[in-house]
Amino acid sequence: MSTDHALPPQASDEKIIYLLKTQGEMSAAELAERLSMTSMGARQHLQALEQQGLVTYTDRAEGRGRPRRCWFLTDAAWQRFPDRHAQLTVTLLDSISQLFGEAGLDQLISQREKDSEADYVKALAECTDLEARLQALAQRRSEEGYMAQWQVEPDGSYLLTEHHCPICAAASRCQQFCRSELELFRRLLAPARVERSQHLLSNGSRCIYRITP
């Protein structure tokens, strides 16, 4: 017996939005499996969300047979997640740039990096190995709204994935924020090697960092 009626429709809709946010585009069948409902039930929820302007889809050809319909979030859905008053932030950055030039903006970012590093160093202070540091860092980043998680890869490396960027608007205005965070992670996780393998602002669906011991 299908369980798609076990949850109120709104709860299922919110879970679909969460899955598309954290996992990227998915088919109705994949969503149905994750939510323990029928494919028809998943499609009905997706159609309702589409009518609300929260999801849309693209058909991807995968060899022979019918294309695979992949669903993903619209910009309207992304706005449901915290953005730390995006427009105000961008306005303030523009004002700082006009008043103090790019050098002033660099000083602001440098100070933010120092403050963040002090906070993270404190959070990681009792960690005795790389995995413990990754766990503490992911937890601290999630508390800040980045929806972070980490995992071990088959080759022994690690992935730190951030499914949301609460400072996306600021980072879009000044990508030095992103470069600053990458350098900060490298210092926090040294001597491990840290590289960004997917970037939200470079057409990625999330930011992913590969950490190699």
Q: Are residues 62 and 165 in the same domain?
A: no
Domain range for residue 39? 9-78
Task: Spell out the alpha helix ranges (H) of the chain.
Answer: 9-23, 28-35, 39-51, 75-78, 86-123, 130-143, 168-173, 176-189
pLDDT at 173: 78
What is the DSSP secondary-structure string of 113-147?
A: HHHHHHHHHHHTTT--SHHHHHHHHHHHHHHTT--
Q: Are residues 62 and 151 in the same domain?
A: no
Q: Are residues 194 and 106 in the same domain?
A: yes
Q: What is the Cα–Cα distance from 178 to 85, expressed in whole angstroms?
A: 18
Q: What is the Cα–Cα distance from 12 to 6, expressed in whole angstroms?
A: 9
Q: Is 39 exposed, middle or buried (0-12, 13-18, 19+ CB in 10 A)?
A: middle
Q: Are residues 205 and 105 in the same domain?
A: yes
Total structural domains in the chain?
2
Is-above-0.85 flag for pTM?
no
Average pLDDT of the segment spanning 44-49: 94
Does 2 score more than 60 pLDDT?
Answer: no
Q: pLDDT band at residue 6, thresholds of 50, 70 and 90? A: very low
- CA–CA distances in Å: residue 189 to residues 129, 160, 184, 211: 10, 11, 9, 8
Q: What is the Cα–Cα distance from 80 to 54, expressed in whole angstroms?
A: 10
Q: What is the CATH number of the domain that holds 47?
A: 1.10.10.10
Please tell me whether residue 208 adopts helix, strand or coil conformation.
strand
Please tell me whether residue 205 adopts helix, strand or coil conformation.
coil
Q: Are residues 157 and 139 in the same domain?
A: yes
For residue 46, being part of any structural domain is answered with: yes
Mean pLDDT of the chain: 86
pLDDT at 12: 84
As given in the structure block, the two tokens for residue 171 are: 């980072």
Q: Are residues 128 and 200 in the same domain?
A: yes
For residue 151, being part of any structural domain is answered with: yes
For residue 3, being part of any structural domain is answered with: no
Average pLDDT of the segment spanning 80-97: 72
Q: Find where tokens 């924020």 sit.
A: 177
For residue 111, being part of any structural domain is answered with: yes
Q: pLDDT band at residue 123, thresholds of 50, 70 and 90? A: very high
- The CA radius of gyration of the chain, in Å to the nearest whole number, is 20
Q: Which pLDDT tens digit goes with each residue over 158-201?
A: 999 998 888 887 777 777 889 999 999 999 999 999 999 999 87
pLDDT at 145: 84
Does 4 score more than 50 pLDDT?
Answer: no
Q: Are residues 71 and 95 in the same domain?
A: no
For residue 2, being part of any structural domain is answered with: no
Cis peptide before 82 (omega within 30 of 0): no
Q: What percent of the chain has pLDDT over 70?
A: 91
pLDDT at 83: 56
